[in-house]
Amino acid sequence: MSCGNSGVAPLVFGIGNRDRGDDGVGRHIAARLAAAGLDAVEHSGDGADLLNEWPRDRAVIVIDAMRSGAAPGSIRRFDAVAAPLPAGVFALSSHALGLAFAVEMARTLARLPPALTVIGIEIERVATGAELSPAVAAAADRLVAELMDERARGDRPPSLRAAGEAIQG
Amino acid sequence: MSNAKTRTIKVDALARVEGEGALDLRIRDGVVTELKFRIYEPPRFFEAFLRGRMYSEAPDITARICGICPIAYMLGASQAMEQALGVAVTGTLRDLRRLIYCGEWIESHVLHAAMLHAPDFLGMQDAFELAKVHPEVVNSALELKKLGNHILEVVGGRAIHPVNLKVGGFYRAPATAKVRALIAPLRRGITQGAELGRLFGSFSFPDYEDDYTFVCLKHPDEYAIHEGRVVSNRRLDIPIDDYLVHFQEDHIRHSTALHGTTRKGEPYMVGPLARYAMNYEQLTPIARALASELGLGPVVRNPFKSILVRMVETVLACEEALRLAESYTEPAAGAVAITPRAGVGHGLTEAPRGICYHRYRLDDEGRILDARIMPPTSQNQPQIEADLRGVVQANLNLSNDELQWRCEQTIRNYDPCISCSTHFLKLNVVRE
């Protein structure tokens, strides 16, 4: 099944809260990608709602703020089809069900997209109404450039490549 | 185990509730000697930082008290201001308010009943275990929650902390076609809600009842959600303006949330069981048929069956939202005009968890001089403790683990929103 859609570019979700400083970085990036013509949407990050929005036949990228202890502005990619997200890293929301809930509930219900890449950006501060901090804004610039470049090259996320190879095999 | 003289049960952080809290329980010679439902999240000072802000800012500021039920705060604040400023929101704008409130009931009730409370009845730890055994339940719940969220988006501009509500109505009324597009999913929602209700109806319910004081809104023409008078099953029938004459909040040492009681100092219950008992005659047809099918009489006194009443109310909210969506035509204006003036206003609506009361005093420019907000969980807190005491006393034969489970289930009967009441659960039990 995924072979038929493997040429379609991933759908990007940028999640977070734009009114909480760096927590909104995912949404800032999604807005810039959408303005550049990529399929990218902003989302609140409500886990129950997010998994309802994931397509079943198309690769998905989720960009979210992360707090892992790395240097602010660090970017990490997680193949969420291959393994659960590390505990606590994406638990910034004050709401009960977040990104980790969405990923694991989708896995339990066999509703994961064929590829699901979570890109985390290490944040510095989540002050109400604040702008992005300089390190995080710079990381946003780098990630936008990377994703545009990957789109131009037609790169596919690792889990989709694996799925495609397995199917072809 | 049950013969030991002293038993201690400690729950240091309760799961599957909104916010953080704990429960300390001490049992000596088979008698509960200490029971504290502790809420230890820091106070949030909303009432204090509303002072000096304009009347128009209160809905958006108070919405931030809760991400699950912002409409309760936005409408409570808006309606209080409208009363103070002498304006009435009627007709289609009133219908839109009821419609968006139905959306909030749907998403909040389904989230709690299916994802947080149902696992208690199945001996499961969480919604993931539920999803493995009953994926259809979780899929239906997710779809219904999405429907509730979608109503908030269509009417309120976004699902979490909507941006389109204001004192006087809406910044912009939604287009007719967008509201009418809710009709098909709402028809499906009625069916899905009833199916979930039937499945929950097959649960085994602990045998426990109490003679509760039920307090809620009542309206002559509809199952009250956002307007009406305050009534109780103790023959109380008062305008919302008199709420503080009959109900009070007290500071207690073990909780950062205030404890709500009647003026006599007695606990009372707000929420689904209260509304159902006092407004049973006004249930919508399919909701009423579901209640009957589930074996629920006109009054439900078993708090564990609140999960069934939540599903009856979910179906009711879908039916009401469907009726409102079918008759909707975009109005010429999204809001009524407001002229600031000095005054005092009260707003009281039925949040999914029960009564949410607001009172504001304004100066002649419309600036807030003081504010008072009573969220539902702080009002239910003494009743939750009373239930726990009763449930523990009736189940002393259970092991500590079983007793802890039953206590947590008892607390979740109330869908406590600790985040709102200041914001909740750890359980500590001592058996002496």
DSSP, residue by residue, B231-288: EETTS-EE-GGGHHHHEEEEEETTEEEEEEEETTS---B-SHHHHHHHHGGG--HHHH
**Domain spanning A8-159: which superfamily?**
HybD-like (3.40.50.1450)
pLDDT at B194 over 90: yes
Q: What is the mean pLDDT of residues B255-265?
A: 84
Q: With beta carbons under 8 A apart, name residues in chain B contacting A49.
A: 145-146, 149, 159
Least CB-CB distance to A96: which of B18, B139, B158? B18
* Residues B372, B412 share a domain: no
pLDDT at A151 over 70: yes
Shortest Cα distance, chain B CAs vs residue A143, angstroms:
27
pLDDT at B419 over 60: no
- CB-CB contact of B321 with B106 (8 Å): yes
Last residue of a domain, one of B361, B378, B395: B378
Q: What pLDDT was estimated at residue B308?
A: 98
pLDDT at B219 over 90: yes
Least confident window among B112-121, B197-206, B267-276: B112-121
pLDDT band at residue B200 under the 50/70/90 scheme: very high
pLDDT band at residue B357 under the 50/70/90 scheme: very high
And the tokens for B22? 């704990």
* Residues B170, B25 share a domain: no
* Mean pLDDT, chain A, whole residue set: 85
Q: What pLDDT was estimated at residue A169?
A: 27
Q: With beta carbons under 8 A apart, name residues in chain A contacting B146.
A: 48-49, 52
On the CB side of B63, how many CA atoms lie within 13 Å of its CA? 22
**CATH number for position B195:** 1.10.645.10
pLDDT at B425 over 70: no
Least CB-CB distance to B128: which of A96, A104, A110? A104
- Facing residues of B248 across strands? B261
And the tokens for B180? 């009418």
pLDDT band at residue B408 under the 50/70/90 scheme: confident
* Residues B160, B11 share a domain: no
Cα B259 vs. chain centroid, distance in angstroms?
Answer: 16
* Residues B284, B208 share a domain: yes
Least confident window among A18-32, B283-297, B411-425: B411-425
Last residue of a domain, one of B337, B359, B378: B378
Q: What is the mean pLDDT of residues A96-108?
A: 88
pLDDT band at residue B96 under the 50/70/90 scheme: very high
Last residue of a domain, one of B356, B378, B400: B378
Residue whose pair of structure tokens reads 């069956």 in the numeric block: B305
ipTM here: 0.78
Least confident window among B10-24, B40-54, B135-149, B306-320: B10-24
* Residues B403, B264 share a domain: no
Asked if the structure places residue B217 within a domain, the reply is no
Asked if the structure places residue B208 within a domain, the reply is yes
pTM: 0.88
pLDDT at A18 over 50: yes
* Closest residue on chain A to B130 (Cα): A108
Domain count, chain B: 2
Asked if the structure places residue B62 within a domain, the reply is no
Q: How far apart are CA B178 and CA B181, in angstroms?
A: 5
pLDDT at B17 over 60: no
Q: How far apart are CA B378 and CA B365, in angstroms?
A: 32
Residue B412 sits in which domain range? 6-43+384-431
Q: What percent of chain B has pLDDT over 70?
A: 91
Asked if the structure places residue B230 within a domain, the reply is no
C-alpha R_g of chain A: 15
* Residues B307, B170 share a domain: yes
Chain A with chain B: Cβ pairs closer than 8 A: 47
* Residues B265, B150 share a domain: yes
Q: How far apart are CA A121 and CA B141, in angstroms?
A: 31
Closest C-alpha to B392, from B29, B30, B118: B30
Q: What is the mean pLDDT of residues B111-140?
A: 92
Q: Which helix (H) or strand (E) holds B359?
A: strand B354-362
* Residues B274, B179 share a domain: yes
* Residues B402, B290 share a domain: no
Shortest Cα distance, chain A CAs vs residue B176, angstroms:
24
- Facing residues of A41 across strands? A13
Q: What pLDDT was estimated at residue B91?
A: 97
* Residues B301, B181 share a domain: yes
And the tokens for B169? 């109505």
pLDDT at B288 over 50: yes
* Residues B203, B84 share a domain: yes
pLDDT at B421 over 90: no
Q: What is the mean pLDDT of residues B212-236?
A: 98
pLDDT at B346 over 60: yes
Asked if the structure places residue B237 within a domain, the reply is no
Q: What pLDDT was estimated at residue A5?
A: 44
Mutate to test the interface with A, among B20, B146, B425 (most CBs of A within 10 A): B146
Q: What angle do CA A62, A46, B63 make, to 5 degrees?
A: 135
Cα B196 vs. chain centroid, distance in angstroms?
Answer: 19
Q: How far apart are CA B219 and CA B226, in angstroms?
A: 9
Least CB-CB distance to A44: which of B116, B135, B159? B159
And the tokens for B320? 């009401």
Asked if the structure places residue B231 within a domain, the reply is no
* Residues B397, B336 share a domain: no
Q: How many CB atoms within 10 Å of residue A46? A: 27
- Facing residues of B216 across strands? B231
Q: What pLDDT was estimated at residue A2?
A: 39
Asked if the structure places residue B149 within a domain, the reply is yes
Q: How far apart are CA B419 and CA B69, in angstroms?
A: 11
Q: What pLDDT was estimated at residue A165?
A: 38
Least confident window among B32-41, B198-207, B416-425: B416-425
Q: What pLDDT was estimated at residue A3?
A: 40
Asked if the structure places residue B1 within a domain, the reply is no
Residues B55-92: tens digit of each pLDDT: 999 999 998 877 778 999 999 999 999 999 999 999 99
